Each structure stands twice: as structure tokens, then as C-alpha cells.
Amino acid sequence: MSAGAPPGPLAAAAALVRRDLTLFFRRRAEVLNPLLFFVIVVTLVPLGVGPEAATLRAMAPGVVWVAALLAAMLSLEGIFRSDYDDGALEQLAISPQPLAVLVLAKVLAHWLVSGLPLVLLGPVLGASLFLPGRAMGALVLGLLLGTPVLSLIGAIGVALTVGVRRGGVLLSLLVLPLYVPVLIFGASAASNAAAGLDVSGPLALLGALLALALSLAPPAAAAALRISLG
Amino acid sequence: MAQREAVIPATTTRRLWTWFHRLASPRYFYELAGRLIPWFGWAAAVLLAAGLYGGLWLAPPDYQQGDAYRIIFIHVPAAWMSLFAYVAMAGAGFIGLVWRIKLAEVVARACAPLGASFTLLALCTGSLWGKPMWGAYWVWDARLTSELVLLFLYLGYIALDAAIEDRRKAARATSVLALVGVVDIPIIHYSVEWWHTLHQGPTVFKLGGPSISLDMLVPLLLMVVAFKLFFFAMMLVRARTEVLEREVNSAWVREVVGEP
């Protein structure tokens, strides 16, 4: 960028999203692996519990959501890890832009390549577990509201552990308990819909969680990043 | 400013601040804690003995649960302390983060294993109580489940603390985690409760309520206070040890430990 006044926070955030998306497309395999993991975990369930349609149908929302949680968690390191390793993160931290906005931009880019595919794959995997068609809308909507929360909470966890060697398992220990509400509301939206019940309650609560995470997680992750960068 | 000075004389404010600063000095804290620990410890022991005597001998058996209910004299205080310790940990962590007071970081770190122990104790006593009541050691009861998640949160805190070598950095990172946890714990609690009512219907019965007899309430309250005092005593012991460890290179520690 040429010398002169620095761009505003929004312009900087947009540039960061573009840059991260480009980087993700250059490393497609890394992005695809968690999705493959998502599919494989769901495939393992019928092999473990048996192929009976009734059992699988009852379990489908929970299984898809648990697998989505695990896949989201596996992909989390991608938010900050490579930028931490090559020093780009320090450049972001000393830039004149508010770090929380930049964190939000990075989470958005990461969600576009890791969360959105989970939303799209969800109904396919649900169908493979005999989830009835009327539950698909609630499953997709729930994933659409819930996976950004997973990325936002996860960003705090990654920011805290990015300086730790072999932080992967530690990250799961930190982040998975915090995912409990998303799992509960997401899975019950889909199972309510499968049972023909009202889904507005859990979906509204998921939306509330998203609003809360959007407002609180970026500053928390920014503070955690500053601590990790020391 | 002028208004506040009119209400609180400047000297009082200044004295308060000097006291606060002195408290934050490791050596003063070390000595003060050393003097407080026996008081907290003995008071906890006496109240614990009184509470156990009142709860296990004096209190009448429950008309529904017989003698099995007596585990509440351990279970309820432990469950309350598990939450109290987390809030204390996050509060101390917040103070450490905002005002950079090292002593607050030490206190926050000292709370974690104690809180985890109380949580584990609440889980174990809860499942022991569940065996005669529900016929199983573990049921996915809402409170037990939130308590289990709380235990995971504590273990995550301890694991993060252990993973970061630099003590100051570890203290600040764990404080952020504790604050995130404090925001999330009520959400987890209510979501688990909501999940539970959705799947299982209300619990078989609930303890407490306004109908608890005075013979049971008094020992229960004694136990609650005893647990709290025990927590403070143990927290101070841990914090005191860590202050020594952190200040190992300073002259006063060598003086206290008696090393040349």
C-alpha cells in the first residue's frame, strides 16, 4: 500500500478478508480436511450403532451437530496459526486499526471457508441418517446461526493457545465445554422440527448467542492475542 | 472530584489506597496471610465439626429420603463453593488484568485447583446420592451435567496454565479464559436446564425450598460457612507458597526462608 493516510477500519477489514480468502484457496487441502473429517465421523455412526432407520433418525440431529462441533474445532487453528508463525499477526497487532475489527474479519474469512461448507453439508449428512425432510430447514438455519458462534468462541481459544507448542488438544479442552449451549440449541431445533414441533425458540436463542458472541468475542480474542504475542 | 472529596475526606481515601498498595506488596501479603490462615483454618474446623454433628446426629431423618438426604450437608456446600471459586477466580483475574496487580494473579491461580476439587466433590456426592434416589450412580440430571461442564472448564483453565511457561503470560491468558467462562457459565447452566426439561421432564424431586426444617437448615448453613472458611484458608496457603516461589530472588524471601 502506498504512503499516506491509513485506510479506515472497514476497508482494512475488507482487505484482510480478501487476503485470507486468497490464502485459503492456495491451501485448499488444509481447508478440505476438516470437511472430510465431518463426513467420516457421521459415516462412522451407523457402523457403530447399526443401520436401523428408526435409531439413526432419532440420533441424526445430535450426531450431525456433534460432528459439526468437532470439525469446526479441528479447523480453528487455521484462523491465526500460520499468521502467527510467519509474523503477520504481529504486524496486524501493531497496525493502527482496532485489533478487534481485524479479528472479526479473520473469523469471517475463516467461517466462509470452514463453517459455510458445514452448513451446506449438514442436510446431506442428515439425509444419510434418515432425518426427515421437514427438519432440514431447521438444521440448516441452526447451523447457519450456530457455526459462526463456534468460530467466534474458537477464535478466543486459538488466540490464547497460539503461542503454545502442540496446542491442538489443549484448544479442544478449552473450547468444547464453551460450545455446550450451541450444541443444545442447534440439535434441539433440528429434533423439534423432526418431531413437528415449534422451532422458533431454539433458533431465537441461537440468534441471541450469535449476537452475544459477535459483540463480545472479537475484543476478547484481541486481548488474548495481545497476551500471546507478549 | 470535588464532590467526592467532600463526602470522603482526602486523608481517608489516601489511607485506603496506601493499605491497598501495601496489601498488593508480596511481603506484606505473605505475612498477613500467615497470620490469617490459622484463624480461618481453626474456625473452619470448629464449624465443620459442629455442622457435621448437627447434620449427621441431631437433624431428624427426612420423611421421604430417610438418612440418604444427609449427604446434602457435604454436597450443597461443595456445589455452591464450586461456583463461588470460579467467580472469585475470574474476579481476581479481572483485577490482575486491568490493574496489573501480581497478587491478584496469584490469588486467581490459587483458586483453580480448589474450585476443581469442590466441583469433583459435588459430582461424587451427587452421584452417591443418586444411587438410592434414582437407582443409578449417574443420570443426566441438569445440575449434575452443568457441574460436569464446570469441571471441564476448571480443567481447561488448569491445562492452559500448565501449558504456558512464562508465569505472567500464563496468568493473563488464564484470566481471559476465566472471564469468558464467567460469561458462558450462566448460559451453559440455563441451556442445560432447558435441554433437560425438554428431554426428561422435571427432576424426581427437589431439595430445599421453603419447607426445609430448621434442624436441617442450621447445620447446612454451618457447613456452608465452614466450607467457605476452609476455601479461604487453603487459598491463602497456596497463594502464600506461590508468592514465595515468584519472589524467590528477592532479599526478603531469603530472609524469611532463612537462607544465607
The string of pLDDT tens digits covering residues B104-156 is 999 999 999 999 999 999 999 988 888 887 888 888 888 889 999 999 999 99
Alpha helices (H) in chain A, listed in sequence order: 9-26, 28-49, 53-75, 81-86, 88-94, 99-128, 136-161, 168-175, 180-194, 200-229
pLDDT over threshold 70, residue B219: yes
pLDDT over threshold 90, residue B253: no
The answer to whether the CB of B230 falls within 8 A of the CB of B44 is: yes
Q: What domain count does chain A have?
A: 1
B142 vs A4, B185, B191, CA distance in Å?
58, 13, 9
Chain A within 8 Å of B22 (Cβ-Cβ)? Answer: no
The answer to whether the CB of A100 falls within 8 A of the CB of A68 is: no
Domain-located, residue A1: no
CA distance A32 to A26: 12
**A26 vs chain B: nearest CA distance in angstroms?**
32
> Which pLDDT belongs to residue B19?
74
Residue-number span of the structural domain to which A28 is assigned: 9-229
pLDDT over threshold 80, residue B8: no
Say yes or no for a CB contact (<8 Å) between B191 and A230. no
Where along chain B do its domains lie?
30-257
Q: Strand, helix or coil at A119?
A: helix
Q: How confident is the model at residue B5 (pLDDT cuts 50, 70, 90)?
A: very low
Domain-located, residue A2: no
**Chain B contacts of A177, Cβ < 8 Å?**
149, 152-153, 156, 188
Domain-located, residue A184: yes
- Interface confidence, given as ipTM, is 0.90
Say yes or no for a CB contact (<8 Å) between B169 and A188. no
| Cα within 13 Å of Cα(A81), Cβ side | 18
CA distance B49 to B43: 10
Say yes or no for a CB contact (<8 Å) between A174 and B179. no
C-alpha cell at B75: 454436597
C-alpha cell at A112: 466462509
pLDDT over threshold 80, residue B64: no
**If you ran DSSP here, which 8-state letter would residue B259 be given?**
-
Q: Strand, helix or coil at B65?
A: coil
Listed residue (A62, A136, A64) closest to B140, CA to CA: A62
> Which pLDDT belongs to residue B235?
95
The secondary structure element, H or E, covering residue B116 is: helix B102-134
Residue B8: φ, ψ to 5°: -105, 120
CA distance B94 to B100: 9
For residue A52, give every residue at least 6 positions away whose Cβ sits within 8 Å of its Cβ, in sequence order, or none: none
> Which pLDDT belongs to residue B89?
96
Say yes or no for a CB contact (<8 Å) between B159 and A176. no
Burial degree of B43 (CB within 10 A; 0-12, 13-18, 19+): middle
> Which pLDDT belongs to residue B199?
62
Which residue among A161, A167, A180 places its CB closest to the CB of B149?
A: A180
Listed residue (A181, A186, A210) closest to A135, CA to CA: A186
Which residue among A164, A188, A220 places its CB closest to the CB of B198?
A: A188
Q: Strand, helix or coil at A196?
A: coil
Say yes or no for a CB contact (<8 Å) between A220 and B172. no
The neighbour count for residue A198, using CB atoms within 10 Å, is 10
Say yes or no for a CB contact (<8 Å) between A174 and B191. no
A26 vs A21, A23, A76, A87, A111, CA distance in Å?
9, 5, 18, 19, 16
CA distance B155 to A174: 8
The neighbour count for residue A31, using CB atoms within 10 Å, is 18
**A207 vs chain B: nearest CA distance in angstroms?**
13
User: Dmax over Cα atoms in chain B, in whole Å?
Assistant: 67
In the stretch 130-189 of chain B, residues with CB closer than 8 A to chain A read 149, 152-153, 155-156, 159-160, 163-164, 166, 169, 172-173, 176-177, 179-181, 183-184, 187-188
pLDDT over threshold 90, residue B170: yes
Q: Identify the residue among A174, A191, A203 best suited for mutation to test binding to B, counting B beta carbons within 10 A and taking the highest.
A: A174
pLDDT digits (tens, 9 = 90+) for B128-138: 888 887 888 88
